[in-house]
Amino acid sequence: MEEHDFLRRMENLRKPEINAGASQRQMKLALMNTKKSATWGIWFLVAPILFFSCVAINYLFHWNWGIAGGFIEWIAKIDHQSATVWVSPLLFVLLPAIGAVINLLAVMHFAYDNLARELIVTIKIKWLNIVLAALSLGIIAIVLLYAIIENSAERAIKKYDIEWRSK
Report pLDDT digits (tens) over 1-17: 587 788 888 888 887 77
Beta bridge partners of 110: 121
pTM over 0.75: no
CB 142 within 8 A of CB 51: no
Residue 161 has pLDDT above 80, yes or no: no
Task: Kindly report the average pLDDT of the chain as a whole number.
Answer: 84
What backbone torsions phi and psi does residue 111 show, to the nearest 5 degrees? -145, 145
pLDDT at residue 27, as a whole number: 46
pLDDT at residue 4, as a whole number: 79
| DSSP E strands, the chain | 108-113, 118-123
Q: Poorest-confidence range of 100-104, 145-149, 151-155?
A: 151-155
Domain boundaries, the chain: 31-166
Find the mean pLDDT for residues 95-106.
Answer: 93
C-alpha distances in angstroms, 127 versus 38, 97, 133, 136, 157? 10, 18, 10, 14, 44
Quick: pLDDT tens for 31-74: 567 888 888 999 999 999 999 999 888 888 888 888 888 888 88
CB burial of residue 88 (10 Å; 0-12, 13-18, 19+)? middle
**Residues in contact with 167: Cβ distance below 8 Å, sequence separation at least 6, in sequence order:** none
- How many angstroms separate the CA atoms of 93 and 137, rounded? 9
Backbone dihedral region for residue 122 (phi beyond 0: left; psi -120 to 50: alpha; all else: beta) = beta
